[in-house]
Chains A and B, each alone.
Chain A
């Protein structure tokens, strides 16, 4: 079975530009998570969805960040306008039914560099 698929793998863009990160969860999984990882702050949860509904977005840094999950097989994380401090690795993870005692399965991440 295919794992969690993220695109792009790398993104380099200039500050002020809009950035869209994409994620396809594992088929049948009903929870999806967006994380950001930096050296300074480690792994931070940004937002997660359960059955396509956002459950907790308290980790979203500010209004420049938005996330959507229009259906069970696709989610986007958008940053507009982007800033150099947004440079990080962004992970998407999905989880099967059974709640938070089930493991999360991670994509390979998107390395984002804002110049």
Chain B
């Protein structure tokens, strides 16, 4: 069965510092995408970043980047220069069908990140 595990229920970081949120997953698929979503207190679910498994280069979106280790099935999110607005729940997600036309996302339990001034 495909699973997504986020082992850090809560984390905190000082403003302007860097923080890394971990995510591991289990799959037998070879070609797939991985996603990080952010849910601030306003409760919106916002796509942060997407990584293609067959690309060796780690995805980057401004202050957000991933450390993708395919062999280890690890997909961590690094937030640089943390800002107060980064305070949110962060969810790692993985397609249940390995990228087929049908299939939903499997979400981790989430990591609650608090950025402190």
Q: Once bound together, how far apart are the Cα atoms of A49 and B107, in whole Å?
A: 18
Task: Report yes or no: A42 in contact with B107, Cβ–Cβ below 8 A.
Answer: yes
What are 24 A-B contacts with C-beta separation under 8 Å? A33-B104, A42-B110, A43-B110, A45-B105, A48-B104, A50-B102, A55-B102, A56-B102, A89-B43, A93-B45, A99-B97, A99-B103, A100-B103, A100-B105, A101-B33, A101-B52, A101-B99, A103-B47, A103-B50, A104-B47, A104-B105, A105-B47, A106-B44, A109-B43
Measured CB to CB, the residues of B under 8 A from A are: 32-33, 35, 37, 43-47, 50, 52, 91, 95-105, 107, 109-110
Neighbouring B residues of A33 by C-beta, 8 Å:
104
Main secondary structure of the interface of B (DSSP, over half): loop
Measured CB to CB, the residues of A under 8 A from B are: 33, 42-43, 45, 48, 50, 55-56, 89, 91, 93, 99-101, 103-106, 108-109, 111
Chain A: minimal CB distance from B100 (Å)? 5
Q: Once bound together, how far apart are the Cα atoms of A33 and B109, in whole Å?
A: 18
